[in-house]
Amino acid sequence: MLLISVVVDCVSKSYSYGLFSKRYDKILSDISLEITKGKTVGLIGPSGVGKTTLAKIIMGLEKPTSGKILIEGTDIWHISSEDRNISLKKIKMVFQDSQGSLNPKKTIKQSLYETANLMGLDVFKGESLILELLDRVGLSSDIFCRYPHQISGGQNQRVALARILLVKPEYVILDEPTSALDIAVQAQILELLNNLQKENNFGYLLISHNIPLIEFMSDKVVVLDKGSIIFQGDTKEFTKFNSLKNKNNFIGYK
């Protein structure tokens, strides 16, 4: 299992403040979970419990205070930074703020070509791959010359997905991918995400505070509260857990 999954092992994170008198703020404590290829793990919890911080730690954008992140068996903070970058290439992230996940001063074309360039594709190969991927996420090349604010939120999210497909990840972190979209578009994006998972055998970590969405998409659910895991199990167990919790009004939302 270790070689086809991303394992978060007892990760804690605290921030320190001040130059001389250090104060610490504990954000996450002893988080353990596993993202397996082809499966979706739902991560749910109220705002401000550290869901996005956990995502950033898994992405390697922040270093955990203690604990390990194992990407297919490799501990990313105990290898050289070149090796870490190679390992981290397997994980990519879709952000909540669909409009904001593309540079507002660049056209869609520039954003996509730049990424193709980064992947070492020449102009010709890059172009055919970009067109293919745009088609795959349901966009035409009409939007090429537009800026992110000139296309809709759903289209932006599709462009972001096409850009991620371009770099061929194996695991994708979805940070509230649909919360900024209206219901009809949400359904389309979720369907697209499901299809992409089937085609590419992606391992998803779906972050949300929308319980029906998590129940619909996930194979396993992790509930986070005040920086620690209060529930981890498959979706059926989660439904039971959730109905119990609702009686005690624990999570504090519907």
- Judged by the rule CB under 8 A, the positions of this chain that interact with another protein are 19, 56, 59, 61, 85, 88-89, 91-93, 95-97, 100-106, 114-115, 118, 149, 160, 163-164, 167
Contact (Cβ atoms closer than 8 angstroms) between residue 24 and residue 16: yes
Q: Which is nearer to another protein, 90 or 220 (CB)?
A: 90
**Side chain identity at residue 54, one-letter code:** L
Q: Which helix (H) or strand (E) holds 16?
A: strand 5-17
Query: What is the rounded CA–CA span in Å between residue 162 and residue 143?
Result: 13
Q: How far is the CB of 250 from another protein (least distance, A)?
A: 30
Give burial (CB, 10 Å; 0-12/13-18/19+) of 212. Answer: exposed
**Which of 38, 30, 55, 91 has the alpha carbon at shortest distance from 220?**
38
- Closer to another protein by CB, 75 or 114: give it: 114
Q: How far is the CB of 57 from another protein (least distance, A)?
A: 12
Which residue lies nearer to another protein by CB, 43 or 223?
Answer: 43
CB under 8 Å to 61, separation ≥6 — which residues? Answer: none
The nearest distance, CB 148 to another protein, in angstroms, is 8
Q: How far is the CB of 25 from another protein (least distance, A)?
A: 16
Q: Are 17 and 80 in contact (CB under 8 A)?
A: no
For the CB of residue 235, give the shortest distance to another protein in the complex, in Å: 27
Q: Name the residue nearer to another protein (CB basis): 61 or 123.
A: 61
Which residue lies nearer to another protein by CB, 5 or 101? 101
